[in-house]
Amino acid sequence: MSNFKTGNIDDIIIKNLIKNEDNRGWLIELFRKDMIDEYLFPEMSYISLTYPGIIRGPHEHLEQTDYFCFLCSTFKMVFWDNRKESATYKYKMSLNIEENDHKIVIVPPGIVHAYKNVGDKPGFVINLPNKLFAGWGKKEKVDEIRYENTPDSPFKVD
């Protein structure tokens, strides 16, 4: 049983992505230096495809901030504030991101997070984190605490 209460969580940033369409197709700006603080600037990027019904996470980072961009399907994202020093410690928050309502979701360290493709087609998630996965040359410990295979974990996506 979870001892988290439902409510907004401090320091999660949610921004709309603007889709610019014309007769050639569309374009969406995912990152601009004038959109966010410098400490959030990406160190790398990746794109993933998530099939309908699939959950990625839950996990958290100790130092890394994730900068997610959701495209082409409907996603449910769930957050749990695991930061003892936070005013919203032990809060749980859910966010539904509709297929045509593209969003940037920035998740700071210490917030456990997961997302599920709740749409009926595969969806793309682009991440532009502010730290390199496994450090420079992939020679460091991965900054990630994973909970998806922990049977008694309080972090469940419903």
Residue 31 lies in a domain: yes
Residue closest to 69 by CA, chosen among 25, 16, 33: 16
151 confidence band (pLDDT: 50, 70, 90): confident
The parent domain of residue 87 ranges over 5-134+141-146
Mean per-residue pLDDT, 92-121: 96
Count structural domains, the chain. 1
Check pLDDT > 80 for residue 2: no
Decide if 158 is inside a domain: no
Q: Answer whether residue 157 is part of any domain.
A: no
The answer to whether residue 154 sits within a structural domain is no
Give me 22's structure tokens. Answer: 């014309």
Give domain status of residue 152, yes or no.
Answer: no
pTM (global) more than 0.85: yes
Residue 42 inside a domain? The answer is yes
CATH number at residue 58: 2.60.120.10
pLDDT of 30 above 60? yes
